[in-house]
Structure 1
Amino acid sequence: MAGRLTTWLRREGGESAASDGDEIARLRAARDAAEAANEAKTRFLASVAHEIRSPLNAIYGYAQLLERGDAKDTLAAARVIRRSAEHLAHLVEGLLDISQVEGGAMKLSREAIRFPEFLDQLIAMLDLQAQAKGLALVLERPERLPEFVHADPKRLRQVLINLATNAIKFTDHGTVTLKVEYRNELATFTVIDTGIGIAPEDAQRIFAPFERVGGPAAERPGVGLGLAITQALVHIMGGDIRVESRPGEGSRFTVRLMLSQPLSPPSEPAPEAGAVTGYLGRERWVLLIDDDPAHLAMVRSLLEPLGFQVRTASDGDSALALAAQVQPDLVLCDVMLAGENGWDIARQLRRRHGASLRIVMLSGEAPDSGNPPADGPANDTFVMKPFDFTVLLDVIAGQLGVEWVRAAGLPRGTAPAEAAMRLPVTVAPQAAAHCAEIERLVRIGHVRAIESEIDALAALAPEAGPLAERMRAALDRFDLKELARLAQAGVSDAA
């Protein structure tokens, strides 16, 4: 009996010791994982700070020049500020994308896109970036591709741009190739570079959010979100992504997606509308509620020239008093006010003025930010900051039922010659010279010089303004193919 008891105690003691050892190992693994996550967060914050400072410095610097009156070209300064702001907005959108993916809230659209044209525009957008590093950017595709496929154009573009810009970033010499294959509705996109490559132990880490690998790759700018977002988007679209790489020999990223073809070609897009200059019908009153004077001034400057009567308030009491005084048709209210909740202000406005008052909430956070009322918000719709003016105008039109008055616009696909033919005969030869130079500069990718030539074209005569504006719009969206066509039309028109 004593022997059996001794054996049992030894066994139990051994098992207890083994159990304690397993628990200690688990705790150590959890600690190591927490420390690694903390280090990744620290690296991420440092990278984000670096990525933010460069465009922020451009915005801050050019704004000071404009304020001092020292900016020689105010239009060029405004473009730098806008593009820098867009860069910051894209960074924020990347963070939101990760949040949406992790929360399962991301939704895809399904549109019929012109497949070959989509690929050409993608290469045109990236070509200047590749040229700046002395790289050749190559598109390899079969002669026969379907004209239309179904896809979410924004997300597909995001995936391919992320992969291609990464390839350009990590390649110093040689070529970056986008190879496209399509068979039985399966599209295969392969981005091939001759860059620094990826170590085998890092091949999977590169897809983890906020992770950045060591070695030469660590010296390149970035926040470690691009590939994580790319992989997430590919998986959401029902595809897969793979990487093959060797250090010093380059990398090959392959994405496979099912892109079905529509049964019949989609109808042609509607004519492109001109800029909004006003609205039809009775005068409308708008109340803006925000504690940021710059935001109030910006939105007021947008709406008043269109014929709206605009009043502003920076707090709830002032807003309620103004609303009682002017009986606005529309309220644009920020969610996060200093010491106040925009949702509460909206609820009071709704209670006092009823359903006829249209209320649009504005916020830099998600629609559920700022603790909306548990019984449901009082607003009619929500707009996320920062917003494009056209988006805000679309929302206003939808809420008020107004019909916009627009400047004359050109239908989509209108031949560029039609825009150039509007130039008077007296300035056509000078315009042709500028257009010829723009066409040459497009080929070499000299953006600053292109902007200068467009400005010179616009200065020839007021009639040259529409052509110059279309060129600026094409340059802003990096549609170099369209810019070259516009320039060629300007040359041929004077011939």
Structure 2
Amino acid sequence: MKSPAIPAKRSYKSWIANETLEDYSLRYAARSFRRWSGFSISNTALGGISFLALEAIGGAITLNYGFINAFPAILVVCLCVFVTSLPIAYYSSRYNIDMDLLTRGAGFGYIGSTITSLIYASFTFIFFALEAAIMAQALKIYADVPLVFGYVISSMVIIPITFMGVTMISRLQIITQPIWGLMLVLPFVFIFYEQPHVLQDWVAFARPGEQPGFNYLFFGAATGVLFSLVVQIGEQVDYLRFLPDKTAENRLRWWTAVVAAGPGWIVIGGLKILAGSLLAVLAVGAGTAHTNAVEPIHMYIKAYEYVSDDPSIVLAAATFFVLISQIKINVTNAYAGSLAWSNFFSRATHYHPGRVVWLVFNILISLLLMLLGIFETLEVVLAVYSNVAIAWIGAVFADLVVLKPLRVSPSYVEFKRAHLYNINPVGCGAMAIASVVSVSAFAGLFGPLAEAYSAPLSFFIAFAVAILVGFATKGGYYIAREPHPAEGSAGEDPDRTVRCRICSYPYESDDMAHCPFYEGPICSLCCSLDSHCHDSCKKPVADLLQKKSRYVGRYFTRKVAPHMGQRLAKFLGVLLILSVVTAALFLLVYRMIDVGTGVDDVGHASLLLRVYIAMIPLLCIAAWWVVLSHESWELAERDLVSSLEQLHKTRHELARNERLATIGELTGTVSHELRNPLGTLTTSVSVLTHHLKRADTPVRQELERMQRNVRRCTHIIEELLEFSRKRENTLRTVAVDDWVARQVDEFDTHEDVRLRMELDCEVEILVDADKLRQAFVNVLQNAVQAVQGADGREAADWDVLVRTWACDTSVAIAVSDNGPGMGGDVRKQVFEPLYSAKPFGVGLGMPLVKRIVEQHEGNIELESAPGRGTTVTMILPRWSSALGERALSAASDRESVPRTKPGSKAL
């Protein structure tokens, strides 16, 4: 018998259900949401290229390694970034998924991409901190705002804009893009006009104390810093996933948007790096200290001095340019960070409080880094980070450009948990090996040459290892299970929505999977957050039943709290958040202390550190309390929803019983009032037929039509009587395959119908053979009528297949046809009494089949789609607890009857 389905137990907060705020943060971007043009999306994505860290990086590597080493490093890295970013941009735009979902299906697996989400999140808050620090420096120079207050202002101003997601960000970028572009280009026009020889000074710039000339170690070190920018493609595809589907009409515009906003960012970005290199050289030449010359505010103050001689105008223009640049980029950093943290914590804790929560969390971490002085360690931070980041991109790149075209991995990108292995050794193994080797090289373990080229080494190792592992495993760790027939196919309406079994929200079919644990469709977000199924959909049926018995068993017992490991992950996640928030507040207080009060600054630092350490146990208690409170809330919500669903089922059953009672009363009246007249009518027609054997053809045809309609009325009465009759089962043991073969042989079918059998059960079960025969013949007759009634189909194409098979606890009898199939509305009502899609039908055939199967403690499954035929599967238990000792007694002398444990359920 079908196990009771676990009630839907998840309801999201209002902002999570509002996709204007959530922006499909953990799922495929639906077509209904992708209403922007290609130009609007590419303009929004390119708005993130305003980040002034590019100028800072260009200035830093030029001042540290000289132009002759920095310039070729910039060109080489820009070319590498363009090449690696192109396939990533294409696949993300083609399948409308963000960087994390792409990584899942590109060799890392469902859990394996968790670490890449953390890497990506690190990229966003590192660059957010760098950009906000630049903004704070501008506020200090222009308005003498203390740096600590500048950090807070530059962080908090981003929240309301990013809160509304891509909708508000797109509007911001459209408004600010022309202003920003003009202010970026204008000073360089004046520089080249007023000082043509500036290029010669720039090219001739060498590192102080070093001989001019190319140094391969300096070149490698410069590339190591620049390679950290390769992860920027993740922020680009966060917007590219909202591109409309590619069609024949928009093909050129679609590709233009993909290239321009995807790998094309590095074209503008490379020019900005070179611009920073030039401005840093100009600033140093004007007497600016090296530490200040790499700060963009000082760079652009120097640049705008060529535009105006008025210091106030120069300062205002440079400050305004820096502010607008930082707002444009940091909304992108904060937005991308909120997506990355959402992906990370949703899988680590099976909990999703909403993208807006992680938005604030990401900004708090960035604020903490600013207070720690990240700008002063810019080069070291980026060099270390790039070794791990480039390994991730190298593994993804190998899958997209080598393994997918060679069909080692699937040609499409699968991102749903229900279809992925947790760990794919292709990406995870490649990134792990490359990261360990490159970080060791960067630490100097393999000599100065390997240290300088650790980032390129990381990329090539990851690229090569991913390909080798892919071929070694033959792509066997990409897809854990094939799509279920109920999930539809590519030929179906792409805009069709399916309602999730858990959260009850409708989503497009591309975002849905069939969940055998909950026995229905489930959206990708609910699938990601579920902690009860333990990936049963990717395990054998016996494991699935064992897992379900833990939540829906004989006594309807459920375990609400997740496993201890999962609970510990939630605890650590909450503790991390609380620790970061508390550390940021303490550090903020420390930086705001007025050192002019005469109190030793070191004493303040020591005091605040001791207080913070003393608070850690309290933070642990608070984190544990939050976890337990959340589980209590889940329990209360589960009980409430369970009660509501049980009430709904009870009301539905009551209405059904009332309907059956009405049918029973109607049947009694109809059978009493019509059977005698119909019997008389049948006799009279027979007599007339006998005496009018030589009558004209029209008369004989009318007599035959009278006979057919009399038989039809008699059949309707018999169906009504049978449906309303509640007869106890008369049990006997039957060999399933022999019994099915006998019923098929006795079935009178059309001679043109090809009726095939694939019998592979080979077990015996205890059933009421007469009732089961009635159900089987009904299903078989429906299949034959379906293929005969298919419009435009030749008789030679009529095909009906009868199959049997056995599982550990059940047997299945399936009847498939290649008829026209059923639509969604028909499938929903096919088991409702008195509903019929046939022109001549009472609508009791399939309800009677369902009742007979359920009387045997089995269940019936229907799979059908327009144009794909229909399959009806009757699943019967090999052992029925309701039959109990009667089954044992009836089969005690038959060795083939399995003695499975009472209480076992069917599929």
Shared fold, TM over 0.5: no
Considering fraction of residues, name the structure with more strand: 1
Which of 1 and 2 has greater Rg?
2
TM-score after normalising by structure 2: 0.20
